[in-house]
Amino acid sequence: MAEKSALTAEAQRLPLAAALVERNALRRRLVADPTALAGLFIVAMVVVVTVAAPLLAPHDPNAQDVLNQFRPPSAHHLLGTDEFGRDELSRIIAGTRISVLTSLAVGAAILAIGVLVGTVSGLAGGLLDGTIMRVVDVLLAFPSLLLALAVAGTLGPGLFHLALAMTAVWWVDYARLVRGLVLGVKEQQYVESARALGMSGRRLALRHILPNIAPPVIVLATLQTARLLLALAALSFLGLGVGPPTAEWGAMLNDGKNFLDTAPQLMLYPGLAITITALGFNLLGEGLRDVLDPGLR
Amino acid sequence: MPYVARRVAYLIPTWLAITLLAFFIAQLAPGDPASVYFERLNGRPPGRIELARTRHQLGLDQPVVERYLRWLGHAVQGNLGRSYSSGLPVTHELLSRFPATLELATTATLLAVLLGVPLGVIAASRRNSLIDHVTRGASLIAASAPGFWVAYMLIILFSVKLRLLPSFGTGGVNLLILPALALGLGEAGLLARLARSSMLEVLREEYVTTARAKGLPEWRVTWQHALRNALIAVVTQVGLVFGFLLAYSAIVEVIFVWPGIGALAVNAINQRDYPMIEGFVVFAGTVFILVNLAVDLIYMALDPRISLGSQTVPAVG
Amino acid sequence: MSDLPGPEHPLPSPSLHPVTRRQLIRMLGVGTIGASGLLAGCSSSSKPSSATAKRGGTLTVGADADGYVLSGPSANVGQYPLNANIFEGLVRMDPDYGIVPVLATSWTLRPPNTWRFTLRRGVRFHNGQPFTAEAVKYTFDLIATTGGGGTPGFAKHGTTIIDDYTVDVTPTFPNARLVEQVVHPENYIIAPGTDPVKHPTGTGPFQFASYQRQQQLAVKRFAGYWGQPALLDAITFKFIPDSNARLLALESGSVDVMLIVPNQDAADLQRKGFRVGASPVGAYEAFYCNISGKKGYTICQDPSVRKAIEYAIDREALIKGIYLGRAAAEQSMIPSRLLGPANAAKIAGYTFDPAKARQLLDSAGWTAGANGVRSKGGKPLSLQLIDGFPSPDSHTGVPEFIQAQLRQVGIDVSIVVTPDNAAYSARMNALAGDLWLEQGNQNDANPAFLPALLFSKKGLFGGSSYQTMFAPGGTFDVLINQALATPSEAEVKSLVAQAMHVLIDGDAIVVPLAGIERIVATSSKVRGFDNEPSQLQVRYDRVSLAT
């Protein structure tokens, strides 16, 4: 990947201290970039809603009132009501929590696993590296969504099983990227000298390697969050994950599909919520990528 | 040449690993497959003796490794067992429904290419213009919207509100449009962005500026030199897109009730039809690695500069 | 009613033996419940006469999941749950639950417990075999080998051939309901020695053409039918478990009839020009409380909790909001049309009284917790609702509604979805659930059918998880056994009503929700389709296609 080579080139030229100084400059460039700024704004809003969901929701998202089903937007229900008379806006807000937190949790897990495996593989080399990369290639040889579907479907219902399945499938992207980056950094002068001085593998990784491969990993993490969000929505839509009455965007779409004729707006709102949130992360990721490697603008 | 040979030979361990994966996934299943199998067939739960007999019949009383090897032996010959739901051979079911998925994926890929690539190329050649920004914006949104949701929005727009197009089933081009569009739009966005960045990269390169310096007209610079080279990256991506769509079509197939293998897989998962789930993973995985191989070979043929250890090719070593 | 004969069709087929004068008077006469029931049920009398109906054409029917059993003595391809008109029984049931003679022309109960059937002459099976008492014995003996001998309790040596057209049936228990029970398609007569899965051979107006499991079942007109030949040339039944897919098959024209229409789609289909009909109530929606206390599911053993659940549900809102008005506010479980209004009134049911529900829970020691869920001695009031029988599709919206209602009074309900019948049965066998959501169908004319099958200690299939989890025993069993044994029709209904009163009002084991109307949609070219309440007695021989 062209971006990878550019980034590793940059990483090669910067010892750690200089990298820190550079980071401030990067931050300034980030804020100046409109794409990144828009993304940052959206992500910030989403985070706020996630954290403050119970406070922000005007009604109890699970409070039913079936005689008031399918109401259009009104002062009392800003987005109207669903098939059970529940307030749609409150459910969207509540869904933010589950969708975003699950995506972030899975994202953190795959980041940790992927970086660990990639670093170990890259540093160790040889047979271990070869074996790990075979496994990675096999998992990558198969469309992640379907694999997650097969695993989650087999494990059974429940959000935990779904998160487990997603984690088991998506860690490979990081592993591949990190390994490649580590291979690139490994050869560098300061790393070799640190090794010669007898620095342990772990310290080496923590102090020299990881900080220098951080930028592309951060970009990937941001973009990956968007992808996880979409995957979660798709898998929930298929009935995996949370069960009723929990509000979750994908599950809400699954409920709404029965009422395309009577209340198409029930399909609109959760989908928009997903799109906007994913867009936010994508914009931020793109912005970060542009800032860290402006050549590709 | 040795690269190609290595690449093809590499398929075998990958395929074996896929079978291992498929087998492993099925083992994750809760409950007793023999009991489920008997119940489906006879409409009532098995008695103890019947259960033991069924377990023996299905080979479930053997150690795991032996079961895997036996299953693998059958799989290699193309026998993927029998579906718990329908009782029909899994391979037969998959093969009979595969053409529908192929049709959908091909049309979607075609739509994606026809929509995305020209837009991306134009956006690159008119950098920072309105077209460029609109393309980038639209493709970013396309990448952020869940594909199946777009499908429903299309249905609501075209079928429900406008009553223009029928929404479900097969039989005729007009029934193909919506699902293909739903599948293809997201990928169109991806291809547009890729085409654009490829073009930009190529346009910057030495030989292009040299061509300009030589006095060639701008359009020739763009369309002849830059395009041909930029498209190499795009072509490989199209191959990958096609491979992905073959598999990702599952959700779209379910929504539009399109009788392809994706819908089959989702139903199998809902019905805990483990032989079908296993068979599907093997089948789809096989198709996918074959598509990847084809893409790699095409890539190699198109760009003779690329040889061993190319970065865009799946890592070999 | 049950011991009087009646004609199958107003015009006797010429292949019948010459009719005696006594039989002729009976055929032409009215004034018995059976005969008037017949006239009401026979679609050809309430629609334009068959002489003007169009012949020919292939009807395509969109059915839901393929539920046929494919092996063993219970194999029932073409019979149940989808009755494809391949087989016929000794009798059938009309939409008012009256008995109509089919393969039997008359029957009497010979004390103490033997039914003597006189069989129709001149009937042939699809393969040319003549229909005689041998076929009846063959069929009933086959059913006798399944646990319990089916609902009628066929005994191993209980069916005796008297002569070619007379057969005696002695069930395993005092069963005065036998004739009402053999209307059920699972008791339909099979040609002796035939393979019921590969070559289902019956006497019906349609014969078997082909079957692909979970795809479709095709039948074609049987020219040698003993009654009036069918109007259609052929029927293809397509199995489309997903209701959305089935709906769209109807809209796109790939099926002409859609069985089992979800409530939310009914109005829309009508707007689009399809004929949407609702049958009289012939089924019910309810959930049952697991009182066994096994496998840790102990909460529902307390009758106060069960009663609280009953009072906590606003059934009116359920019918308006979830069923969109297309259900009846019945709480008798058994269709009130079958019981009759006086008997149905014996089952009081429950009003919507959340205050009373809370009070009951309070006095049972369940104190309200901070998050709204009650607890007692550290154990939260959490129940598992299993969704459901026959499939989750048939209950769309109901589990979430129940969940929300029960939450209002402090009961936490988690919903467990079983994707299909097999999964539901498996879970039942594991006794793993507190509340079991089911849609039950009044499959035959026996008022005691459902209570005897599901809730009596002995059960009618030799005992199953239903008995373990839901059978109250005691008075209920006494009443039901009496109901099964009494020859008086009026008494049966009264006894059953009393038994249901015990089950619902007294023990609150059954939480009835609504009476279900069967909704069927047909394209405008389909004529003569009568949507009868059990959906097991649909007669396709009078259906035709207009061009």
Question: For position B208, which CATH number holds?
Answer: 1.10.3720.10
Q: What is the DSSP string of C503-521?
A: IIIIS--EEEEEEEPPEEE
**Contacts (Cβ under 8 Å, ≥6 apart) of A283:** A35, A36, A38, A39, A42, B140
Using the Cβ of A72 and the Cβ atoms of chain B, whether some distance falls under 8 Å is answered with: no
Q: Tokens at residue C271, please?
A: 């707007």
Pick from C244, C404, C416: CB nearest A64: C404
Residue A193: pLDDT band (50, 70, 90) is confident
Residue environment code for B113-138, b if the CB has 16+ CB neighbours within 10 A, otherwise e: bebbbebbbbbbbeeeeeebeebbeb
Domain co-membership, B69 together with B109:
no
**B303 CA to chain A: closest CA distance, Å?**
16
Contact A143 B248 (CB under 8 A): yes
Domain extent at residue B256 = 99-302
Indicate if the pLDDT at residue A80 is higher than 60.
yes
Domain co-membership, B197 together with B57:
no
List Cα–Cα distances, A162 to A109, A234, A238, B78, B83, in angstroms.
13, 11, 11, 31, 25
Query: Is B307 domain-assigned?
Result: no
Q: Tokens at residue C411, please?
A: 């009961």
The C-alpha atoms of residue C334 and residue C497 are separated, in whole angstroms, by: 9
| CB count in 10 Å sphere of residue C54 | 14
Query: Is B94 domain-assigned?
Result: no
Residue environment code for C411-438, b if the CB has 16+ CB neighbours within 10 A, otherwise e: bbbebbbbbbbbbbbbbbbebbbbbbbb
Pure H helices in C364-448:
398-408, 421-429
Contact A67 C262 (CB under 8 A): no
Instruction: Name chain B contacts of C252, Cβ cutoff 8 Å.
Output: 166, 168-169
Query: Is B136 domain-assigned?
Result: yes
Using the Cβ of C420 and the Cβ atoms of chain B, whether some distance falls under 8 Å is answered with: yes
CB pairs under 8 A between A and C: 48
Interface test with B, best of C211, C417, C420, C465 (most B CBs within 10 A): C420
Interface of A with B in 271-290 (CB under 8 A): 271, 274-276, 278-279, 282-283, 286
Interface of B with A in 221-260 (CB under 8 A): 243-244, 247-248, 250-251, 254-255
The C-alpha atoms of residue C420 and residue B13 are separated, in whole angstroms, by: 38
pLDDT by residue (tens digit) across A115-129? 889 888 887 778 888
Sign for the pseudo-dihedral over CA of C51, C53, C58, C63: negative
Indicate if the pLDDT at residue B186 is higher than 90.
no
Contact B30 A156 (CB under 8 A): yes
**Contacts (Cβ under 8 Å, ≥6 apart) of C146:** C72, C73, C74, C461
Environment class of residue A210 by beta-carbon count within 10 Å: exposed (0-12), middle (13-18) or buried (19+)?
middle
Q: Tokens at residue A61, please?
A: 């998202």
**B189 CA to chain A: closest CA distance, Å?**
13
* Residue scoring higher pLDDT (C5 or A242): A242
Q: Tokens at residue C104, please?
A: 């039997």
Domain co-membership, B67 together with B211:
no
List Cα–Cα distances, A173 to A167, B194, C43, in angstroms.
11, 19, 66
- Helix, coil or strand: residue C367: strand
Last residue of one domain, picked from the residues B21, B45, B76:
B76
Q: Is the Cβ–Cβ distance between C94 and C40 less than 8 Å?
A: yes
**What was the pLDDT predicted at B165?**
54
- Please give the angle made by the CA atoms of A226, A229 and A234, to the nearest 5 degrees: 130
| CB count in 10 Å sphere of residue C258 | 28
Question: Of the candidates C188, C193, C238, C234, which has an alpha carbon nearest to the alpha carbon of residue C213?
Answer: C238
**What was the pLDDT predicted at A263?**
86
Interface test with B, best of C66, C145, C244, C417 (most B CBs within 10 A): C244
* Residue scoring higher pLDDT (C409 or B172): C409
The C-alpha atoms of residue C479 and residue C368 are separated, in whole angstroms, by: 39
Instruction: Name chain C contacts of A69, Cβ cutoff 8 Å.
Output: 321
CB pairs under 8 A between A and B: 148
Mean pLDDT, rounded, for A148-171: 88
CA A256 to chain CA centroid, Å, is 25
Q: Tokens at residue C308, please?
A: 């609280």
The pLDDT mean for chain B works out to 76
Instruction: Name chain C contacts of A245, Cβ cutoff 8 Å.
Output: 400, 403-404
Mean pLDDT, rounded, for B107-121: 86
Last residue of one domain, picked from the residues B13, B44, B76:
B76
Contact B167 C74 (CB under 8 A): no
Phi-psi region of C413 (alpha: psi -120 to 50; beta: other; left: phi over 0): beta
Phi-psi region of B163 (alpha: psi -120 to 50; beta: other; left: phi over 0): left
Pick from C264, C320, C403: CB nearest A259: C264
Interface test with B, best of A142, A172, A265 (most B CBs within 10 A): A142
Mean pLDDT, rounded, for A65-71: 89
The C-alpha atoms of residue C410 and residue C430 are separated, in whole angstroms, by: 27
Contact C425 B45 (CB under 8 A): yes
Q: How many domains does chain B have?
A: 2
| Phi, psi (degrees; rounded to nearest 5) at C219 | -130, 160
Interface of B with A in 280-309 (CB under 8 A): 280-281, 284-285, 288-289, 292
Domain co-membership, B61 together with B116:
no
Mean pLDDT, rounded, for A268-296: 84
* Look-up of token digits 């992207």: A173
When computed from its CA atoms, the radius of gyration of chain A, rounded to whole angstroms, is 22
**C269 CA to chain A: closest CA distance, Å?**
10
Pick from C215, C245, C420: CB nearest B257: C245
Domain co-membership, B103 together with B72:
no
Domain co-membership, B49 together with B163:
no
CA atoms within 13 A on the CB side of A174: 33
Instruction: List the beta bridge partners of residue C110.
Output: C114
Query: Is B220 domain-assigned?
Result: yes
**C72 CA to chain A: closest CA distance, Å?**
30
Which chain C residue lies closest to A62 (C-alpha atoms)? C404
* Look-up of token digits 């395309």: A260
Contact B272 C70 (CB under 8 A): no
**A221 CA to chain C: closest CA distance, Å?**
35
Indicate if the pLDDT at residue A23 is higher than 80.
no
Q: Tokens at residue A70, please?
A: 């399918």
Contact B272 C74 (CB under 8 A): no
Domain co-membership, B69 together with B104:
no
Contact A138 B156 (CB under 8 A): no
The C-alpha atoms of residue C87 and residue C540 are separated, in whole angstroms, by: 12
When computed from its CA atoms, the radius of gyration of chain C, rounded to whole angstroms, is 24
Interface of A with B in 157-186 (CB under 8 A): 176, 180
Residues in chain C, total: 547
Query: Is B138 domain-assigned?
Result: yes
Pick from A85, A245, A258: CB nearest C403: A245
Residue environment code for B245-271, b if the CB has 16+ CB neighbours within 10 A, otherwise e: bbbbbbbbbbbbbbbbbbbbbbbbbbb
Which chain B residue lies closest to A277 (C-alpha atoms)? B144
Subunits next to C (3 or more Cβ pairs <8 Å) are A, B
- Helix, coil or strand: residue A14: coil
Instruction: Name chain A contacts of B309, Cβ cutoff 8 Å.
Output: none
Instruction: List the beta bridge partners of residue C115.
Output: C109, C169
Using the Cβ of C414 and the Cβ atoms of chain A, whether some distance falls under 8 Å is answered with: yes
Environment class of residue C46 by beta-carbon count within 10 Å: exposed (0-12), middle (13-18) or buried (19+)?
exposed
**What was the pLDDT predicted at C343?**
92
Per-residue pLDDT for chain C (547 aa), expressed as one digit of tens each? 333 333 333 333 333 333 333 332 233 332 232 333 333 333 333 444 444 567 889 999 999 888 888 877 888 899 988 999 999 999 999 888 999 999 999 999 998 899 999 999 999 999 999 999 999 999 999 999 876 677 788 988 899 999 999 999 999 888 889 999 999 999 999 999 999 889 999 999 999 999 988 788 999 999 999 999 999 999 999 998 878 778 878 887 889 999 988 888 888 888 888 999 988 998 999 999 999 999 999 999 999 999 999 999 999 999 998 988 889 999 999 999 999 999 999 999 999 999 999 999 999 999 988 888 999 988 999 999 999 898 888 888 899 999 999 999 999 999 998 887 777 887 888 899 999 999 989 999 999 988 988 898 876 555 578 988 999 989 999 999 899 888 888 999 999 999 999 999 999 999 999 998 889 999 999 999 988 888 899 999 999 998 7
**C471 CA to chain A: closest CA distance, Å?**
30
Q: Which of A259-263, B214-218, C166-170, C281-285 bottoms out in mean pLDDT, i.e. has the lowest? A: B214-218
Query: Is B216 domain-assigned?
Result: yes
Indicate if the pLDDT at residue B261 is higher than 70.
yes
Residues of B near C (Cβ–Cβ under 8 Å) read: 31, 35-36, 39-45, 85-88, 166-169, 257, 270-272
**C169 CA to chain A: closest CA distance, Å?**
48
Last residue of one domain, picked from the residues B45, B76, B107:
B76
Q: Is the Cβ–Cβ distance between C58 and C218 less than 8 Å?
A: no
Question: Of the candidates C91, C205, C118, which has an alpha carbon nearest to the alpha carbon of residue C446?
Answer: C91
Contact A62 C404 (CB under 8 A): yes
Query: Is B114 domain-assigned?
Result: yes
Instruction: Name chain B contacts of A276, Cβ cutoff 8 Å.
Output: 144
- Helix, coil or strand: residue C314: coil
When computed from its CA atoms, the radius of gyration of chain B, rounded to whole angstroms, is 24
Using the Cβ of C356 and the Cβ atoms of chain A, whether some distance falls under 8 Å is answered with: no
Instruction: Name chain A contacts of B284, Cβ cutoff 8 Å.
Output: 142-143, 146
Domain co-membership, B110 together with B246:
yes
CB pairs under 8 A between B and C: 54
Query: Is B313 domain-assigned?
Result: no
Instruction: Name chain B contacts of A226, Cβ cutoff 8 Å.
Output: 143-144
Which chain B residue lies closest to A262 (C-alpha atoms)? B160
Q: Is the Cβ–Cβ distance between A204 and A194 less than 8 Å?
A: yes
The C-alpha atoms of residue C13 and residue C149 are separated, in whole angstroms, by: 34
Query: pTM for this structure?
Result: 0.81
Domain co-membership, B133 together with B257:
yes
Q: Tokens at residue B109, please?
A: 């890929």
Domain co-membership, B61 together with B133:
no
Domain co-membership, B175 together with B286:
yes
Pick from C396, C401, C415: CB nearest A66: C401
Domain co-membership, B211 together with B265:
yes
* Residue scoring higher pLDDT (B148 or C493): C493
Using the Cβ of A9 and the Cβ atoms of chain B, whether some distance falls under 8 Å is answered with: no
The C-alpha atoms of residue C297 and residue B237 are separated, in whole angstroms, by: 55
Contact C254 B169 (CB under 8 A): yes
